Amino acid sequence: MPSSKSSPFYILLLSLLTFTTASILAITIPPSSLLPNPNSLPASTHATLTTLHSSPSSSSSSSASGASALARHLKAPLSRKSNFVFKIPSGQAQGPQSFLLDIHSRDYIFAPYRVDVDAEGSVVGVWETFRGNAWENRGVEKGMIQVENAVVVEAKVMGKRTFYEERVGFSPLSMLKNPMILLVVFALGVTVGMPYLMEMMDPETRAEFEKQSRKGRNAAANDVNARGALVLAVERERERELEGLTWLGGWQGRARDQWPLWIRQ
């Protein structure tokens, strides 16, 4: 006669009790600018809940339960609704615990989260966490939606993985971004297009334009002549000053290289 503990009714009752004492944590992936369509994620995408130790309050009970109480690892695959569902059993033997929630994807990087669970397996809170910092350094708390014994939390996409660097192709339009090229193109356009513009002008406008051009050239020539005359006047005045200084100092009959330095300057 089989024992009562091995009967199918006992096994079914035990499984129902285990399910009722478990809480459900659902991680959803909402559409974003980095990931417009979460359904495009590969089937290998999965999420994990990992804890390395139990809470200090339950250290005595966890040491008695063996190595299974020191480390727990839960894994949830990507469902058709683009979410991950964890069934967290009650942790009365381990006490309250903290899990690290990681979403592993081939193409995208997701933010890690800290998930705190009480002794009954219910989710207490979800916070952002930072790799390389102390576990107590919690970030912003995530908003949770409680539906009976299920907790729904939205994941956050941090970026897209890039394994190859795209080679930048050559584009002739990129040359127009160079200011030197723009200056050359403008000068070439003026040189080539000016004769056509002159031909399209009416006689009166062309005569006025030529008159103004001649005035500009004459003014430039006069300016050059005036500057040349000014330079000549300055040189002549300097020669007169040198002659007066040499006469006063008695150096008039000597060679120029024998003059004092203050006179030669």
Write the secondary structure of the chain as one string of H (helix), E (strand) and C (coil): CCCHHHCHHHHHHHHHHHHHCCEEEEEECCCCCCCCCHHHCCCCCEEEEEECCCCHHHHHHHHHHCHHHCCEEEEEECCCCCEEEEEECCCCCCCCEEEEEEEECCCEEECCEEEEECCCCCEEEEEECCCCCCCCCCCCECCCEEECCEEEEECCEEEECCCCCCCCCCCHHHHHHCHHHHHHHHHHHHHHHHHHHHHHCCHHHHHHHHHHHHHHHHHHHHHHHHHHHHHHHHHHHHHHHHHHHHHHHCCCCCCHHHCCHHHHC
What are the pLDDT digits (tens) for 136-152?
888 888 888 887 778 89
Distances in whole angstroms, Cα of residue 81 to Cα of each of 25, 28, 35, 77: 15, 8, 15, 11
The structure's pTM equals 0.51
pLDDT of residue 242: 66
User: CA 234 from chain center: how many Å?
Assistant: 64
- Token pair, residue 188, equals 């070439």
Neighbouring C-alpha atoms within 13 Å toward the C-beta of 95: 14
Angle at the Cα of 10 (from 8 to 12), degrees rounded to 5? 70
pLDDT at 126 over 50: yes
- Residues 218-243 have a mean pLDDT of 73
Best mean pLDDT range from 47-56, 76-85, 194-203, 214-223:
76-85
Average pLDDT, the chain: 75
* pLDDT-above-70 percentage for the chain: 70
Task: Decide if pLDDT at 15 tops 50.
Answer: no
Query: The dihedral of CA 26, 134, 108, 42: what is its sign?
Result: negative
Q: What's residue 244's pLDDT?
A: 62
Residue 65 pLDDT greater than 50, yes or no:
no
* 52 has a pLDDT exceeding 70: no
More confident call, 189 vs 62: 189
pLDDT for residue 26 is more than 80: yes
Both structure tokens of 117? 């669970």
More confident residue, 4 or 257: 257
**pLDDT band for position 85 (cuts 50, 70, 90):** very high
Q: How far apart are CA 248 and CA 262, in angstroms?
A: 14
What pLDDT sits at residue 59?
39
In this predicted structure, what is the pLDDT of residue 44? 92
Measured CA to CA, the distance from residue 139 to residue 128 in angstroms comes to: 5
- Tens digits of per-residue pLDDT, 106-122? 999 999 999 988 888 78
58 neighbors 95 (Cβ within 8 angstroms):
yes
Whole-number pLDDT of residue 214: 72
Q: What is the pLDDT of residue 45?
A: 93
Contacts of 31 (CB under 8 A, 6+ apart): 37, 38
